[in-house]
Chain A
Amino acid sequence: MQSKYDVLVIGGGPGGAMAGKAVAEAGLSCCIVEKRPAIGAPVRCAEGVGNEISELVDLDPKWISSKIEGAQLIAPDGQVLELNPEMAGNEVGYVLDRKIFDRDLVWKAANAGCDVFVKSRASGAIIKDGKVCGATIEHGGETFDVYADVVIAADGVESKFARWCGINTTVPMAEIETCVQYLMTNIDIDPGLNAFYLGREVAPEGYIWIFSKGDRTANVGIGISGKMCKDGKRPKDYLDAFIAEHLPNGKIIELIVGGVSACKPLECTVADGLIIVGDAARLSDPITGGGIINAMYTGKLAGEVAAESIAAGDCSKKTLIKYDTEWRNSKMGKALKRNYQVKEIFIKLKDEKLNSIVSSVNKLDMEIFDTKYLIRELVKYNPWLLKDIGTLKRLLD
């Protein structure tokens, strides 16, 4: 490990890997430090991504557990809303094998020239005159000070690096989805469909997912709001009850737990000498909880902006702010903003209202799937929606 790099990346997930690759491809020295002993393990993810992943990286078939052609939304009363590829949007794509995918992304960064150190934990930030200059790294029983012109914090939802740099990264309790997931086999599923079970009884302020991992195998998980979580009503309790009812013959071969932020992104994702990407910047989607693509996109952008700033000889917040501005103005940034507001409306819906919405959507002519038609018909069957419809319409337009 050198004592000085152009860019130091904290975290070897998809965000960190894309950042490291972008920096190395720009011809600069770069180092990724990952606290775990292996990249990609343990997995803390439902592993679903939309088709737009291919805009960021050439898909390798070995990363893919299942190709997803559609989705099912299951209302609290059991009504099923089938979403075909045109309607399902982000829900159509792939269920990845993160253990292989994450390793390959880091391999790409390493192949581009980036140094990688596993079982290497950042334990503090080096800050001089208010500028982030590097990190203290614990590796192999020794402690090193590693300096860099730019540090990219890609340390995920449990991020501490940005906090050490004076940025409040705390997720409000009501806005963290607390999650449990089993990898299950011996279950009857359609391998081309992902299923989402909605409702307060099933998963308060969240949902249960069944993401296909191939024939008779799936990630079966739940996320509920932190504020709904209490003794006897923890995510595992809801999930076990669901499995007993719906998948009683399934075998659990893996248990994963974790948190997903469903809050607004950090107010600013750069500081002098620092860029924050992916889940560490609270960039997971507030509705779906999906964060892989957002991490990859912001990681790549962070690497590019860091390289440009170093070339220009100025790594101050004023220069790095280009990163913050660019992702906020991107399709991803706009979707995050809209989806946060949509989430705020939908988490307040009672189960009867969800049933009513799914029921009325099932009555629609799916050949005419435009927003105005959708809203007009939804209001016809659910006049109570008028209260929220102004906001909804503005968000959907």
Chain B
Amino acid sequence: MLVIKREVCGYCGACVSVCPKGALELVDAYLTVDPDTCTECGICSGICPLGALEVKNAE
């Protein structure tokens, strides 16, 4: 699953523009992920300037 570290996130939206599925969105300046759409590809965590996104094994 995709985990957003809210204490690290700068809410810049850089991840939104690279998500191939459009699963990420800034809502009222808070980053949200739609778990049904997210494929956990990791592109967003790869480009995050602050390392706020992490794909974690559900176990």
Partner of B28, one of A35, A163, A226: A35
> At the interface, yes or no: A21 with Cβ under 8 Å from chain B?
no
Roughly how many angstroms separate A257 CA and B12 CA in the complex, as a whole number? 6
- With A35-B26, A35-B28: A170-B18 Cβ-Cβ less than 8 Å: yes
A138-197 contacts to B (CB < 8 Å): 156-160, 163, 169-173, 176, 178-180
**CB proximity of A276 to chain B, nearest CB, Å:** 13
Residues on the A chain within 8 Å of B10, using CB: 255-258
Roughly how many angstroms separate A170 CA and B46 CA in the complex, as a whole number? 15
Q: Do the beta carbons of B50 and A259 come within 8 Å of each other?
A: no
For A121, A158, A179, A261, the residue with the greatest tally of chain B CB atoms inside 10 Å of its CB is: A158
Q: Which residues of B contact A (CB under 8 A)?
A: 10, 12-20, 22, 25-29, 43, 46-51
Q: 7 shortest A-B CB distances, which residue pairs?
A: A259-B14, A158-B13, A226-B47, A257-B10, A158-B16, A258-B12, A257-B49
Residues on the A chain within 8 Å of B47, using CB: 173, 176, 178, 226, 229, 259
Roughly how many angstroms separate A226 CA and B53 CA in the complex, as a whole number? 14
Q: Do the beta carbons of B50 and A226 come within 8 Å of each other?
A: no
Residues on the B chain within 8 Å of A256, using CB: 10, 12
Q: Do the beta carbons of A234 and B18 come within 8 Å of each other?
A: no
Roughly how many angstroms separate A163 CA and B20 CA in the complex, as a whole number? 10
Roughly how many angstroms separate A235 CA and B10 CA in the complex, as a whole number? 13
Q: Which residues of A contact B (CB under 8 A)?
A: 35-36, 44, 119, 121, 156-160, 163, 169-173, 176, 178-180, 226-227, 229-231, 234-236, 255-259, 261
Residues on the B chain within 8 Å of A157, using CB: 13-14, 17
Partner of A259, one of B17, B27, B29, B51: B17
Q: Do the beta carbons of A257 and B18 come within 8 Å of each other?
A: no
Residues on the A chain within 8 Å of B46, using CB: 173, 226-227, 229-230
**CB proximity of B23 to chain A, nearest CB, Å:** 11
Closest Cβ neighbor of B54 among chain A residues: A231
Residues on the B chain within 8 Å of A171, using CB: 17-18
Known: A159-B17, A160-B16, A176-B14. 17 other contacts (CB 8 A): A36-B29, A121-B28, A157-B14, A158-B13, A163-B22, A176-B17, A179-B14, A180-B50, A226-B18, A226-B46, A229-B46, A229-B47, A257-B14, A257-B49, A258-B12, A259-B17, A259-B47
